[in-house]
Amino acid sequence: MPLYLTESDVNRLLTVPKAIDLLDEAFKAQAAGKAVNVPRSRIPLERGSYNLMSSAWHEKGVVGQKSYTAASGGVGFHVLLYSTRGEGLLAIIEANRMGQIRTGSASGLATKYMARPESSVVAVIGSGYQARTQLEAVAAALPITSARVYSRSEENRVGFANAATTDLELSVSPADSVEAVVDGADVVIVVTNATEPVLLGDNVAKGVHINAAGANSWLKRELDTRAVTAANLIATDDVDQAKFECADLMRAVESGHLMWQQVRPLSDVVGGIIPGREFKDDVTLFESQGVALEDIAVGEWVYRQAVEQGIGTQVGG
Amino acid sequence: MPLYLTESDVNRLLTVPKAIDLLDEAFKAQAAGKAVNVPRSRIPLERGSYNLMSSAWHEKGVVGQKSYTAASGGVGFHVLLYSTRGEGLLAIIEANRMGQIRTGSASGLATKYMARPESSVVAVIGSGYQARTQLEAVAAALPITSARVYSRSEENRVGFANAATTDLELSVSPADSVEAVVDGADVVIVVTNATEPVLLGDNVAKGVHINAAGANSWLKRELDTRAVTAANLIATDDVDQAKFECADLMRAVESGHLMWQQVRPLSDVVGGIIPGREFKDDVTLFESQGVALEDIAVGEWVYRQAVEQGIGTQVGG
């Protein structure tokens, strides 16, 4: 009988550092042809959209999907985990918190491989619920000592800075412009709901690593084309999905400033097929799509832990 | 909180005649642009495959997916039903029996619109677990008085004939060849696991309606190309899905005997856009793929009934 795991079950089990390790292993498996990812498909609804994406991690014996409806925010994220070995459905997992953790952790993982190893200062543009886990994951991946946050609302950036300082045991201060927040930063996180670019070419310093994690629709942009083409290496968690979801890259390609062949799968970087960074002054860019492989990777571990610790409820008959 | 419905919950609620009516309504909605279907995607596994398909029926306020792994037979069929109106996940439904009923009922629906209205004799080729619901649905759609069944194993065809005679209150007798089973039949059901055609052009009489319901992989064929091109009208429940799953049609197209433009969506027939049959002597063919719209259509009704009657278990928190 399948195990049903609630948001609070997941919250008890999964941490950001653990999720970074799991994604590391999963993207290495993908590079070795032992895991596959199927891009998100969407059905438009009267309000928002319905989203469905799937993945298999063969060596772990799991395959499955994440589904959710996105109206304002998103409701009803669920991961179904099946056995690849004929044992049927293993688990139904509520996946709102899990999705937030894996999205942050994907940026943490990319940062670990692509940023300068001695990076210590982080700039965060955006102060929403995803921004916290983005910062937490980057801080878990490298020896970060301080962070600055910018968002258009002063109240939001001050609130974020105070809360993050306490929760993450990190010195986080508000900045009052994009210029101020990126000044001297080693890693820049852009995680907004912007429809027009917030990080411009002029804001991109030498040697910086950028995580663009907010936009996953071709209606939304976070970086302008000069910021995109400033990067010596661009990686994304799924190139096929990026081709119809990642406006930052789509715009750069469509306007003739970039070729899709220059955009590399994160698995190539994590799997050691290409170096994440060649020179100290290189600019590197991770465009996060959010893919099912990430959900399956953390979901599999959460499920095994839950079985071991007797957490969750068996359903069905 | 979502409602979890087991196989036995579904079995208490759903009947074949009800499912035919629901599919009738759903395919009319699709014809009117009020429902959409997304073809099945598959991930190959060490054993079998993982399957995922989705659909929305906007006017009923539901969207969702069916997922399952198929090894020997198939295990863990589940339908997730979401609200299109921001209410999140409504139900998780075990969907083995439900899938069998909706597959039979799709053939019943096609038969209702495409076969001669006075059809009374049915031929069944195949005696597996899907054959029973196929026959039941065809008998529910038209004034059928008798049926014959052929399968290679005498034991299986005799066993099927005896059981179906009792259960369906219909005179069902075994036949010892394809020629014998189709002789004088008004409706022919082919529901086998065949990899080579079992119904040939020579077996197709004037005026007959054929339901080809067994194969949903391009490795499997049930009709040869002459049997396919004998049809004056070919309909299928999803033309896009047929293009990569329906070997009967793919072979006929690839060999230059058919064009995809000649294959019509079942929704065009049910929605009255084209007639299901023009002349008494026409041969009509329904190639059943099994699509998510069918799962969502019956699943939505099962869910509403379950809520009304207090059936099922709420899960999550």
Q: Are residues B18 and B132 located together in one domain of the fold?
A: no
Report CB contact under 8 Å: A69, B58: no
Residue B64: CB atoms within 10 A of its CB come to 32
Q: Are residues A50 and A78 located together in one domain of the fold?
A: yes
Q: What is the reported pLDDT for B220? A: 84
Residues of chain B found within 8 Å of residue A50, distances taken between Cβ atoms: 54, 56, 63-64, 82, 84
Q: What is the reported pLDDT for B279? A: 98
Select from A8, A63, A71 the Cβ nearest to the Cβ of B43. A63
Instruction: Show the tokens assigned to A98.
Output: 């899990």
Residue A261: CB atoms within 10 A of its CB come to 7
Q: Are residues B121 and B155 located together in one domain of the fold?
A: yes
Report CB contact under 8 Å: B94, A45: no
Report CB contact under 8 Å: A86, B41: no
Q: What is the reported pLDDT for A275? A: 98
Cα three-residue angle A9-A13-A16, rounded to 5 degrees: 125
Q: Which domain, by its residues, includes A51?
A: 3-99+293-314
Better-predicted residue by pLDDT, B73 or A210: A210
Least confident of A68-72, A108-112, B102-106, B261-265: A68-72
Q: What is the reported pLDDT for A76? A: 82
Q: Are residues B271 and B155 located together in one domain of the fold?
A: yes
- pLDDT tens digit string along A258-279? 999 999 999 999 999 999 999 9
Select from A63, A72, A316 the Cβ nearest to the Cβ of B69. A63
Structurally, chain A folds into a number of domains equal to: 2
Cβ contacts below 8 Å, chain A against chain B, sum to 131
| B158 interfacial to chain A (CB closer than 8 Å) | no
List Cα–Cα distances, A149 to A248, B15, B315, in angstroms: 22, 59, 39
Residue B124: CB atoms within 10 A of its CB come to 29
Q: Are residues A136 and A268 located together in one domain of the fold?
A: yes
List Cα–Cα distances, A152 to A70, A74, A126, in angstroms: 24, 23, 8
User: Is the pLDDT confidence value at A73 over 70?
Assistant: no
Burial of A176 (0-12, 13-18, 19+ CB in 10 A): exposed
Select from A52, A72, A83 the Cβ nearest to the Cβ of B54. A52
Find the CATH number of the domain harbouring B303: 3.30.1780.10
Q: Are residues B139 and B256 located together in one domain of the fold?
A: yes
Report CB contact under 8 Å: A82, B50: yes
Instruction: Show the tokens assigned to B287.
Output: 């190639």
Q: Are residues B143 and B26 located together in one domain of the fold?
A: no
Q: What is the pTM of this model?
A: 0.93
Q: Are residues B301 and B287 located together in one domain of the fold?
A: no
Residues of chain B found within 8 Å of residue A8, distances taken between Cβ atoms: 317
Q: What is the reported pLDDT for A48? A: 87
Q: B262 to chain A, minimum CA–CA distance in Å?
A: 27
Mean pLDDT of chain A: 95
Q: Are residues A131 and A263 located together in one domain of the fold?
A: yes
Q: What is the reported pLDDT for B194? A: 84
User: Is the pLDDT confidence value at A56 over 70?
Assistant: yes
User: Is the pLDDT confidence value at A317 over 70?
Assistant: no
Q: Are residues A130 and A250 located together in one domain of the fold?
A: yes
Contact B30, A26 (CB under 8 A): no
Q: Are residues A78 and A213 located together in one domain of the fold?
A: no
Residue A59: closest C-alpha in chain B: B46
Under the banding of pLDDT at 50, 70 and 90, the label for residue A138 is very high
Select from A41, A67, A315 the Cβ nearest to the Cβ of B4. A315
% of chain A at pLDDT higher than 90:
91
Instruction: Kindly provide the ipTM of the predicted complex, given to two decimals.
Output: 0.90
User: Is the pLDDT confidence value at A128 over 70?
Assistant: yes
Q: A163 to chain B, minimum CA–CA distance in Å?
A: 27
Contact B209, B119 (CB under 8 A): yes
CA distance linking residue A257 with residue A255, whole number of Å:
6
Per-residue confidence in pLDDT tens, chain B, 317 aa: 899 999 999 999 999 999 999 999 999 999 999 999 999 999 999 878 999 999 999 999 999 999 999 876 557 899 999 999 888 999 999 999 999 999 999 999 999 999 999 999 999 999 998 999 999 999 999 999 999 999 999 999 999 999 999 999 899 999 999 999 999 999 999 999 888 999 999 999 999 999 999 876 777 889 999 999 999 999 999 999 999 999 999 999 999 999 999 999 999 999 999 999 999 999 999 999 999 999 999 999 999 999 999 999 999 86
Find the CATH number of the domain harbouring B264: 3.40.50.720
Least confident of A12-26, A74-88, A123-137, A198-212: A74-88
| Mean pLDDT of the A65-81 span | 85
The DSSP H or E segment spanning B76 is strand B75-83
Q: Are residues A27 and A92 located together in one domain of the fold?
A: yes
Q: What is the reported pLDDT for B271? A: 98
